[in-house]
Structure 1
Amino acid sequence: MKGLFAFLRARLGWLIALAVVALAVGGYGYYRRYQAEQARQQALASLRTEVIARGDIVSKVSATGSLLPEQQVNLFFLTPGVVAEVMVTSGDAVRPGQVLARLDDADLQLAVRQAEDALAIAELNRKKLLAGPSEADIAVAKANLHSANASAAAISQGIAQQEVDIAQLKYDSALDDYQKTANQYNSLVQFAKDNPRFAPSQAALDSLKSGMETAYYASEIARLQVQQLKNGADRGSLSVAYARIAQAKVVLDQIMAPPTELQIQQADLVVAKAQLALEQARLRASRAELAAPFDGVVAVVNAKAGEPTGAAPAFVLLDLSRFHLDVAVDEVDVAKLAVGQAASVTTDALSSIILSGKVDRIAPTATVVGGVVNYSVRLVLDLSDAPLRSGMSATAEIVVAEVKNVLLVPNWAIRRDRRTGQAYASLKAGEELKEVEIETGLRGEAYTEVTSGVKEGDIAAVSTAREQLNLLGGQ
């Protein structure tokens, strides 16, 4: 026994050393197992998982803009003048044809009446031309010829004082007629110079001038007759008398002859010009009133009674029955759009109200701003009772595609190989993660349609740790 104790004392150091080594090896193994378990627990805790199920996907294109009314027009007076009356104020609802304001139209109405008179004269002259001479015209022409013959005979036989007095009275009357006609013509010409906008038609002036010239020649003939009678039957007097006979014959022949085609065309032209002048005068007079072209609301009133019209619009009129939204869509998203696609619109001011609408038109050409290529797209909103206002900021979401009851895999669980384009889904298989090849369909904001490679009930999973670790602790 003493020998055994001696042996043990001699080997005690080695035994302690072996025990220490055994404890160290056991402790290290335990530590490694502990680390592996901790890693596995951390990996399990960092997993993001979701059960693959069926559902619907709606793909949308978003864009922003401002609400605009169906129509917005600036209304101007089409003729200058002074505003006489304004019938509406800002915010008033108006109907089509409702008069908004009126100009002072006294001068315009005067021009209409003058044009009506000129047309009446032109039509009477044409009617007289086509009707031919009246019995009175023929009788006067024959009487003038007879008078001319009588005068020539009297000159050749000597003139009585009574005939001289009668000729003097005729001359005085003819001269008075000429002076009245000349004064009327000169006054009308001066009025036309002072008021060019309301000047009578040229046809009316020409007609009055022709009458003045006829009166002048008549007065000259009467004056020469008086002079002839006073001078007695000299050769010059007889020449004048014979000339008067010739003139009277020409006048009688003209009266008895039917109108020529040229005379009829000239008369028609004068009537047509007078009609056109009257239409223009009436048009200018009608433009003294400014009316609403459609149902709407008066947004701006610039016209003021007593002030002349200016360059600014008299009124701004809005059609608030419907609204539209013009948005800019980039060249990638615009390829997904088509006329008629449904859209939902929300405004910043009425965020709780969702408005519906559709794509109305897509610009065929792009606009480039800052190197970004965009296309203008108009969305027309459906009728709504919402208290919308022009200019409200709005956001539109246009539905470009939709699928129902399909397998949905969250986008965060899908990876696509950049080189081959193959898509992979990350799934949880037991305590491991694995990637499987999949075929994808429509992609939404959060989910993608998968047509093959996964089944309903599979668990999509990815690790959210910085480094993905095998759940068993391997590399």
Structure 2
Amino acid sequence: MSSEDPSSSLDAAALLSAATPARRWWRSPRLWVALAALALALLALWFWNTSQQRQAAPVYQTEPLARGTLARTVTANGTLQPVRAVNIGSELSGTVRTVHVDINDPVRRGQVLLELDTERLQDQVRHGRAALAAAQAQVALAQASQLEAEATLREAQAQLARLQEVQRLSGGKVPSAAELDTARAAAERAQAALERNRANVLNAQAGVEQARANLSSHETNLGKASIRSPIDGVVLARSVDPGNAVAASLQAVTLLQLAQDLRQLELQVSVDEADIGVVSAGQPATFTVSSQPARRFAGQVSRVAFGATRADNVVTYTTTIRVENQDLSLRPGMTATASIVAVQRDNVLLVPNAALRFLPSDPAGAAPGGGGVLASLLPRLPAAAPRVARIDPRPGQRQIWVLQDGQPVPLQVSTGITDGRQTEVSGEGVVEGLAVIVSQGRAGGAGRP
């Protein structure tokens, strides 16, 4: 058996290896798998970046300018009151004997409402009449004394005249000087007595007038024991019953409360000092009450008080609103919330107040200038601040933003009154139907006012 040469076997293997060509690097399957995976990753990143840019694109919500009526109202709270309310009291002390009316009873002027016990008052009237009769008797006595004094005076004067005549006829021999002096003194005493009696008559007559005045006072008090209604109206409140004692003092006790006419009421509201400057008499007003929340009652401002009321460092002014209450659905004492129409504008352009507060901003995450996959991977510079138009500093000048070719454009306007939701605007370029931006959002997010 012939053995093979080992060296010859090695040479043959080398020749076979040299004859077989080497595999190229780009034919490696792993390389192409890795490149395909990288391409898919970049494509996914591009799609994600495009989606983010689409969601970050600004979306503007607009509302068109429209014409309408706008009113500035002043809101205030108050209480309904009768136009005229009267508190009925008693000037006299005593015991209530009879009460003729009750709550809600209609009354007429002069009608007796209640009566006090009159026994003591009647005794005073009888005493006054007796005192008047006594005073009149004193006048009669004084007048009789005056007549007596007049007769005595005439007698003394006649005696003096006779003596003077005798003296003349006798040539001054008779009567004596003493007799003449006595006659003169008697005449003077008679004159003084007459004057004194005249004074007594006047004094007695004055006593009669005083007694008559006292009697009249007692009779007046007796009449006041029957308390009568001073007005036509209705009884609102009653705080007395038969048998109650009434003690009159410096301030009369309120026994009954009357209202003149409940078909006419007044709503007295407290207007804040910040709003009182636009409130004046004659302005229309509406109000609601808790008993009928779905109904709005109409009224008109009749008076605005100059005097202020301060409570807890809040200054208010009482404003009176005249109210018609023909169906008697409103009652005194009800609490009401009133809206006074201070200023009203008709057929004016109105803009939502959100448009006056709106300010556009660059959306976060937006690409500064387009780009692509590479641009999305590169670091970005900070976004530039939004360009804001200069606002006129004059009062009443504001700025709104309108949408033109998909971009926000500032527009300066002059503002008027506002009701808290809409504002009157005017100015160059402000026309009906103009699209005004009220909020800004993103395609995939909520709007920003």
TM-score range, shorter chain: 0.5 to 0.7
> How many Å separate the matches in 1 of 2:32 and 2:294?
83
1:405 matched residue in structure 2: 347
Does residue 331 (structure 1) correspond to residue 273 (structure 2)? The answer is yes
When you count strand as a share of all residues, which structure comes out higher? 2
TM-score, scaled relative to structure 2? 0.66
2:382 matched residue in structure 1: none
1:446 matched residue in structure 2: 421
Does residue 273 (structure 1) correspond to residue 210 (structure 2)? The answer is yes
Change (3 A) 1:10 1:89: closer
State the Cα distance separating 1:406 from its structure 2 match: 0.6
> How many Å separate the matches in 1 of 2:203 and 2:442?
102
2:53 matched residue in structure 1: 36
Q: Is the 8 A contact 1:132 1:259 kept in 2?
A: no
Q: In structure 2, what residue type is equivalent to 1:49?
A: T
Q: Is the 8 A contact 1:413 1:462 kept in 2?
A: yes
Does residue 94 (structure 1) correspond to residue 107 (structure 2)? The answer is yes
Q: Is the 8 A contact 2:146 2:197 kept in 1?
A: no
State the Cα distance separating 1:58 from its structure 2 match: 0.8
State the Cα distance separating 1:327 from its structure 2 match: 2.4
> How many Å separate the matches in 2 of 1:258 and 1:9?
164
Q: Is the 8 A contact 1:70 1:321 kept in 2?
A: no
Gapped regions of structure 2 (runs ≥ 5): 1-21, 156-185, 359-389
State the Cα distance separating 1:18 from its structure 2 match: 7.0
2:163 matched residue in structure 1: none
State the Cα distance separating 1:64 from its structure 2 match: 1.7
| 3-state SS, counterpart of residue 50 of structure 2 | helix
| 3-state SS, counterpart of residue 115 of structure 1 | helix
Q: In structure 1, what residue type is equivalent to 2:233?
A: G
State the Cα distance separating 1:113 from its structure 2 match: 3.8
State the Cα distance separating 1:387 from its structure 2 match: 1.8
Change (3 A) 1:58 1:9: closer
> How many Å separate the matches in 2 of 1:388 and 1:456?
44
> How many Å separate the matches in 2 of 1:385 and 1:307?
36
Change (3 A) 1:468 1:438: farther
State the Cα distance separating 1:85 from its structure 2 match: 1.9
Q: Is the 8 A contact 1:83 1:306 kept in 2?
A: yes
Change (3 A) 1:307 1:386: closer
Gapped regions of structure 1 (runs ≥ 5): 143-248
1:288 matched residue in structure 2: 225
Q: Is the 8 A contact 1:349 1:393 kept in 2?
A: no
| 3-state SS, counterpart of residue 305 of structure 1 | coil
Indicate the larger mover: 456-465 or 391-400: 456-465
Does residue 313 (structure 1) correspond to residue 254 (structure 2)? The answer is yes
Give deviations 1:9-58, integer Å, cap 9, x for gaps: 56988887777766665654444333333334xx43xx443210111101
Q: Is the 8 A contact 2:391 2:398 kept in 1?
A: no
Change (3 A) 1:305 1:27: closer
Give deviations 1:223-256, integer Å, cap 9, x for gaps: xxxxxxxxxxxxxxxxxxxxxxxxxx99x95899
Q: In structure 2, what residue type is equivalent to 1:291?
A: R
Q: In structure 1, what residue type is equivalent to 2:273?
A: E
Change (3 A) 1:373 1:134: closer
> How many Å separate the matches in 1 of 2:326 and 2:436?
43
TM-score, scaled relative to structure 1? 0.63
Change (3 A) 1:297 1:386: closer
> How many Å separate the matches in 1 of 2:326 and 2:278?
27
Q: Is the 8 A contact 1:56 1:402 kept in 2?
A: yes
1:109 matched residue in structure 2: 122
Q: Is the 8 A contact 2:391 2:412 kept in 1?
A: no
Q: Is the 8 A contact 1:77 1:290 kept in 2?
A: yes
Q: Is the 8 A contact 2:355 2:439 kept in 1?
A: no
Change (3 A) 1:468 1:415: farther
> How many Å separate the matches in 2 of 1:350 and 1:375?
26
Q: In structure 2, what residue type is equivalent to 1:457?
A: G
State the Cα distance separating 1:101 from its structure 2 match: 1.1
Q: In structure 2, what residue type is equivalent to 1:66?
A: T
Change (3 A) 1:467 1:138: farther
Percent identity between matched residues is 31
Change (3 A) 1:126 1:426: farther
Structure with higher Rg: it is 2
2:321 matched residue in structure 1: 379
Change (3 A) 1:382 1:285: same
State the Cα distance separating 1:76 from its structure 2 match: 2.1
Change (3 A) 1:367 1:330: same
Does residue 437 (structure 1) correspond to residue 412 (structure 2)? The answer is yes
Task: Report how many aligned residue pairs link the two structures.
Answer: 357
Match of 1:423 among 387, 398, 408: 398
Q: Is the 8 A contact 1:133 1:255 kept in 2?
A: no
Give deviations 1:361-393, integer Å, cap 9, x for gaps: 334343333333333333232343142222222
Q: In structure 1, what residue type is equivalent to 2:225?
A: A
> How many Å separate the matches in 1 of 2:64 and 2:298?
34
> How many Å separate the matches in 1 of 2:234 and 2:440?
59
Q: Is the 8 A contact 1:112 1:281 kept in 2?
A: yes
Q: In structure 1, what residue type is equivalent to 2:62?
A: T
Q: In structure 2, what residue type is equivalent to 1:355?
A: F
> How many Å separate the matches in 2 of 1:349 and 1:264?
74
State the Cα distance separating 1:70 from its structure 2 match: 2.8
Q: Is the 8 A contact 2:283 2:342 kept in 1?
A: yes
> How many Å separate the matches in 1 of 2:391 and 2:221?
73
Q: In structure 2, what residue type is equivalent to 1:292?
A: S
> How many Å separate the matches in 1 of 2:31 and 2:208?
145
Q: In structure 1, what residue type is equivalent to 2:94?
A: G
When you count helix as a share of all residues, which structure comes out higher? 1
